[in-house]
Amino acid sequence: MPTVIPAEQLTVWAPRAERVTLQAGEHRLAMQRDEAGWWFPAAPLPAELASGPIDYGFILDDDERALPDPRSRRQPHGVHELSQTFDLTGYPWSDTLWTGKQLAGGVIYELHVGTFTPEGTLTAAIERLDHLAAVGIDFVELMPVNAFNGTHNWGYDGVLWYAVHEGYGGPLAYQQFVDACHQRGLGVIQDVVYNHLGPSGNYLPRFGPYLIEGQQNTWGDSVNLDGEDSDEVRRYIIENAMMWLRDFHVDGLRLDAVHALQDNRATHILEELAVEVEALSAFVARPLTLIAESDLNNPRLITPREGGGYGLTAQWSDDFHHALYVSLTGDTSGYYADFDSLAALGKVYENGFFHDGTRSSFRGRTHGDRIDTLRTPTWRLVVCSDNHDQIGNRAAGDRLASRLDRQQLGLAAMLTVLSPFTPMIFMGEEWGASTPWQFFTSHPEPELAEAVSKGRLEEFEQMDWDLSVVPDPQDPQTFMNSKLNWSEPSKGAHAELLALYTRLIELRRTYPDVVDPRFDRAVARSDDDRGWLLVERGQIALAANFSDRATALDLSVPGEVLLAVGTGEVTAERVRLGPHSGLVLLLSDDATAR
């Protein structure tokens, strides 16, 4: 596979080159240019190249060395070497009956291929899919898998967006993984990075104006979305998204750090992407999801285009995480300071955002805007108690499981999984994994490796954190330490927490009020002095005691216990909770009349 070279893989956009030569195997072949700056082979390929796969690349002007294809489908020898043809249409899919999954009501599981299993491959990950299905997961969200330099990193240093990292198994293994997910009823969401490129192996600027020099975001030069020749750059992004959704049968994309997509054109790249994905969804007859990572608290991202928004399906909600994190840990450093009240978590349940035009002390200004809670469904916000950023960007890469007791972990699970939003679980969270998840890299270039290690220390030094616990990103052991230990889920407290997550997801499937998408169904009350939070949504109530002492509160109507975390009881309309305890309650029918 493949038996025929896809013709489009031997073309390249290089608008400012005066001459381009195709290197195919041992042959060097002249190319001709059209008016748009695309180059095509000037003559038919030699007979021995009529079938593939073949290694190929493009020589620009007087260069001696061929560069990999910006749209390479496979990089078997690394991102600095020749590309290899791969026919994405040749895979014998077995998911013809797969009709997709809507995000509404779903549960997402975020995983990093390299650390999800000891082997760190897509093939090995398939062996763990039955575990996810048994827990009740709906969507597997893969952190970026596109080709990067080195053997391992988080994935956000990708430089060839169309190629699957060879260490994970390449494009064939990716197709097999998606196929296996669909066979188990699991949708797949792929994390994609369109706001920057990695520092090593990025040859795109050699081919054309993909980046704007001097216009930088946090990670480097910004992508050229609105400057000269930006039409083709935008198509480069759109076509990449179509590849994942159409050719790899992926069900959705998570769009990394959309605030870094600097675009001043009349139609923002996010809206253009939403239009294209909507059209593809109609053609393939299954839901296709776009989820933005954004801390802008800008409802326009998830407002339908008919209402003047960008039309994305959903966005991450940092406010939920921050409010829950502060309630559980008491940490009010940095941007957590504004969330130093249980009322902050209650506001998020009722309104979606905490910062909705309120002052952010961390930013020194007002931040965010209000969600139209009458017209916006709650599931458009993706929430979590931990994720790769929140764990990996702590000094030691420690999970909540390393700093909370088992009942506090149960509270985090209860309040996240039974929220009206779309809950996301980070790999291993469902059993309270003891392994950290640290920041790791494998840059082969000594200067870059040193810069990354030094920069990591400087970053944490500014935050007054203990530098002695910060692992060296370049140390291979940092990567190995971050791999999940799959012997844990069946043992003791790990097995108990896993059973709790499974039961909580089951409750989402059992009681409609849990996933009711109407914001106005939620009424939240709290008491900071006594440490309790109560959220009532229709006939379902979540009562949580975050303090280390027993507390009591009143319900609006009588209720019965569906699930307990820690200790607690209900007497008529009075709830008593032990330290770090919570109850899931089924309220009497009178609750619906409130």
Question: Where in the sequence numbering do the catalytic residues fall?
Answer: 256, 293
Whole-angstrom Cα distance, residue 26 to residue 19?
19
Q: What sign has the CA pseudo-torsion 585, 588, 589, 591?
A: negative
Whole-angstrom Cα distance, residue 478 to residue 466?
17
The CA dihedral of 102, 104, 109, 114, to the nearest 10 degrees, is: 40
Pick from 438, 409, 561: which is nearest to 498 by CA?
409
CA distances from 124 to 248, 439, 470 (A): 18, 22, 29
Whole-angstrom Cα distance, residue 258 to residue 178?
25
Look up tokens 């009497």; give the residue.
588
Backbone angles phi, psi at 175, to 5 degrees: -60, -45
Q: Map 279-291 to HEC letters.
A: HHHHHHCCCCEEE
Whole-angstrom Cα distance, residue 229 to residue 16?
10
Q: Is 5 helix (H, G, I), strand (E, B) or coil?
A: coil
Read off the tokens for 204: 């795109």
Whole-angstrom Cα distance, residue 508 to residue 486?
26
Pick from 303, 319, 318, 242: which is nearest to 268 by CA?
303
**DSSP, res 263:** -
CA distances from 578 to 113, 131, 527, 534 (A): 39, 32, 15, 15
Measured at the CA of 284, the angle between CA 423 and CA 176, to 5 degrees, comes to 70
Pick from 175, 184, 12: which is nearest to 89 by CA?
175
**DSSP, res 156:** T
